[in-house]
Amino acid sequence: MSFRNHADFAGRIRAGRTIWSAGAYDALSARFIEAAGFDAVMTSGFGVSASFLGQPDAELYTMSENLTVARNVASVVGIPVVADIDTAYGNAINAMRTVREFENAGVAAMIMEDQVSPKRCPICVGGVEIVSIEEAVGKIAAAVEARRNPDVIIVARTDAATEAEAIERAKAYVKAGADVIQPISKCFKSIDGLRALRQACGAPLSLQILGWLEKDLSPAEIESVAGMATFALVPLMTIASALHENLAKLRQDRSSHDLPRPRMAHDPFVKFIGFDEIEKLQMKYLPRDAA
């Protein structure tokens, strides 16, 4: 699927025509996601924290550090970038600046959650604390007002633990201007629950395909409710497993023969990351002896 501009991308999401994406943790992983043919790429807060800091997803990185990753990703891919902006790093006024900065970086959509800042990853802890519905609504309204392009999608994520509260909040968030609603994966337990959320709030859902959603739902079921569907952690966990196994074997044998995971060959990798294009530019613009 290709998109001419933000309006085309936003129109498909608002019409409930599912955008499929995968979670990037840096610019290189984003390039592989694009090469695989995904509609969009999402900068995963979980992945960014793990890759950029080597730390858990607990909002330990700053807004500017997260922004650096999003900007780098947007600069090297041609598909839309969806940015995880966590809690937007403060109150409604902080959220306004965060939205403007990420929009200026070139992202096409942002996911903002209603946890207390600093947040905690709900897939890694037993429970999380969320702000009042009034505060969350104010932040969403501020984020909507702050964006300069109305086709930059605002995804309101609720970390509410019960289906009833998630539906209540989703309805209020859509009324405040959110384009898409994202529940946490462990709140709803069935496709019927997700359909009830979709119908009640009147907006497409953003689903992170984790846990039971990854194991139990078919692509058709996901597309019946989702404007956005993201395999947020598959890229990160794939590379983590490959590095863990190959490096352990490399240290043990002190030889790169018989590694358990295959490696990309040097020449295809060099071509993939664009050395051919750089060489052409060098020949075109640098003095002949330098080139």
Range of the domain at 290: 261-291
Is 247 part of any domain? no
- 234/280 same-domain check: no
- 280/152 same-domain check: no
- 107/222 same-domain check: yes
- 279/157 same-domain check: no
Distances (CA, A) of 196 to 94, 104, 189, 193, 246: 33, 35, 12, 5, 45
pLDDT, residue 57, reads 86
Domain with residue 44: its CATH number is: 3.20.20.60
Residues taking part in catalysis: 121
- 64/163 same-domain check: yes
Is 115 part of any domain? yes
- 74/192 same-domain check: yes
- 200/276 same-domain check: no
pLDDT, residue 186, reads 84
- 226/280 same-domain check: no
pLDDT, residue 117, reads 84
What pTM did the predictor assign?
Answer: 0.94
- 26/120 same-domain check: yes
Is 227 part of any domain? yes
Q: How many domains does the chain have?
A: 2
pLDDT, residue 287, reads 86
Is 253 part of any domain? no
Segments of the chain with pLDDT less than 50: none
Q: Which residues fall within 8 angstroms of residue 26, CB to CB, at 6 or more apart? A: 48, 51, 52, 69, 72, 73
Q: Which long-range contacts (CB under 8 A, 24 or more apart) does 56-59 make?
A: 56/121, 56/124, 57/119, 57/120, 57/121, 57/124, 58/118, 58/119, 58/120, 58/121, 59/86, 59/87, 59/89, 59/117, 59/118, 59/119, 59/120
- 24/155 same-domain check: yes
Is 245 part of any domain? no
User: pLDDT digits over 15-67, tens only?
Assistant: 989 999 999 999 999 999 999 999 999 999 999 999 999 998 888 999 999 99
Is 22 part of any domain? yes
- 128/199 same-domain check: yes
